[in-house]
Amino acid sequence: MAARDCPSIHIIHCDLDAFFASVEQMDNPSLQAQPVIVGGTAGSRGVVSTCSYEARAFGVHSAMPMAQAHRLCPRGIFMPVRMSRYQEISQQVFAILSQYTPLMEPLSIDEAFLDVSGTEALFGSPERIGRQIKEQVKSELDLIISVGISYNKFLAKLASELGKPDGLRIITFDQALEVLKPLPVTRLWGVGDKGKQALHHLGLYTIGDIQTLPPGWLEERLGDSGRHYWELARGVDLRRVEVQQERKSLGREVTFSEDVSDMETLQNHLVFFAAELCSKLRKDNILCSTVTVKLRYRSFKTITRRRTIAPSHADLVIGEVADELLRQSYSGEPPLRLLGLSLGKLSKADAWEQGSLFQEERKNYDLDQLMDSIRQRFGLEAIQRGNLVKGKDFEK
């Protein structure tokens, strides 16, 4: 490929180093350079959320049981999670990042993608922007953010991971295959325990092993995931940086006190969430056009699945779409720590002529309204549609 055809490196991935622990160190300077371990205390979930790099030297890491962290690092400074504080700082970091481009996609509490293809004239090369971001986050918030730069999202994220701590790493088109080659297959975005096992079973341990396969070979064996892995292994990822346009959305989620993998329990939560959210929509005469289900695994990996639907605020419609999204994206493993449902692309229902509803929809609408009035008097759990509820627990 001629140099001018090489994809430009315009995607930046930013991820704070040891985020929760760094905030604790920032708020209390005596903790600087100490092995700080943040996580659930006895009686709560009892796992490490994260720890400072000083504690990582002892082998402590995220999702490790606290008791084990105590054994590995008896001199560690153990601190509880202060989520609202981290969220506050997260907002400040995103505010800094959004100064460099309108195309920003937050990915989790401490990481985001930026597409800076349109803002180079203003701020300079992506590398220069990356350096400025690091300096600004350090000077304004006293936090260290790692930056990865490449020509697509997968490689930008990989670059920031490989550069940690305090990284600024660039992966160009010419370097991509060589950088990827020696890495274990688990570095491919989306390869979890199950994917790893499937790939190992086929004798594929490094990304280089996948790079040499002929096109179609992995897809024939692993379906869509196989094609996806093969493309990533060759440095191909066409996903765009997606700015959240629907500012207006309505959501509900639960963090389970114990991880859940039972499908019926999960389905029931979605039914209740759908009922609660739709009830609110109907009260304000609002319809939604997207339904998003969010799953967070024990490892903290989070996935969302979204579907666009004809505008609706019917329990039955939203409940069924949510149920389908869950079943398509989850088969009971690994256990979930969080489940969420959100309804987006909200619009006023004024244009929605209730008189023109088909008979079936009209029946559903009347039934929903009847249920709303019962719930108003006796609470959300007083009544649900029998065909949706599976008769299991509901955790608030």
The residue among 99, 95, 80 whose CA lies nearest residue 23 is 80
Binding mask 9-28 for Mg ion (x = CB under 5 A): ------xx--x---------
H or E segment to which residue 296 belongs: strand 286-297
CB under 6 A: which stretch of 9-17, 88-96, 238-246, 277-285 binds ligand TTP?
9-17
Query: For strand 77-79 and strand 36-39, is the pairing parallel, antiparallel, or unpaired?
Result: parallel
Site size toward Mg ion, by CB under 5 A: 4
Active site residue 111: yes
Burial of residue 25 (CB within 10 Å: 0-12, 13-18, 19+) is buried
Least Å distance, CB 251 to ligand TTP, is 19
Task: Choose the one of ligand TTP, Mg ion, none that binds residue 34, judging by a C-beta under 5 to 8 angstroms depending on kind.
Answer: none
Q: Is 123 in the site for ligand TTP (CB under 6 A)?
A: no
Task: Choose the one of Mg ion, ligand TTP, none that binds residue 243, judging by a C-beta under 5 to 8 angstroms depending on kind.
Answer: none
**Exactly one of 111, 219, 333, 395 is catalytic; which is it?**
111
Q: Which is nearer to ligand TTP, 63 or 177 (CB)?
A: 63
Q: CB-based contacts of 258: which residues, under 8 Å, 6+ apart?
A: none
The count of residues in the chain is: 396
Q: What is the SS3 assignment for 47?
A: strand
Task: Choose the one of ligand TTP, Mg ion, none that binds residue 49, judging by a C-beta under 5 to 8 angstroms depending on kind.
Answer: ligand TTP
**What gap in Å lies between CA 81 and CA 76, rounded to an integer?**
15
Q: What is the SS3 assignment for 255?
A: strand
**What gap in Å lies between CA 227 and CA 215, rounded to an integer?**
8
Cα 157 to chain centroid, rounded = 13
In the set 72, 107, 109, 243, which binds ligand TTP (CB under 6 A)? 109
Q: What is the SS3 assignment for 108?
A: strand
Q: Which residues pair with 39 in a beta bridge?
A: 48
In the set 26, 40, 63, 206, which binds ligand TTP (CB under 6 A)? 63
Task: Choose the one of ligand TTP, Mg ion, none that binds residue 229, judging by a C-beta under 5 to 8 angstroms depending on kind.
Answer: none
**What gap in Å lies between CA 196 and CA 123, rounded to an integer?**
40
Contact 107, 113 (CB under 8 A): yes
Q: Is 231 in the site for Mg ion (CB under 5 A)?
A: no
Least Å distance, CB 189 to ligand TTP, is 14
Q: Which is nearer to Mg ion, 17 or 368 (CB)?
A: 17
Q: Which is nearer to ligand TTP, 129 or 143 (CB)?
A: 143
Q: Is 110 in the site for Mg ion (CB under 5 A)?
A: yes
The order of strands in the sheet holding 11-16 is 104-108, 111-115, 11-16, 145-150, 168-170
Least Å distance, CB 356 to Mg ion, is 51
CB under 6 A: which stretch of 17-25, 209-217, 229-237, 260-268 binds ligand TTP?
17-25
The residues binding Mg ion (CB under 5 A) are: 15-16, 19, 110
List of residues contacting ligand TTP (CB under 6 A): 15-20, 49-50, 62-63, 109-111, 164-165, 300
Catalytic residues: 111
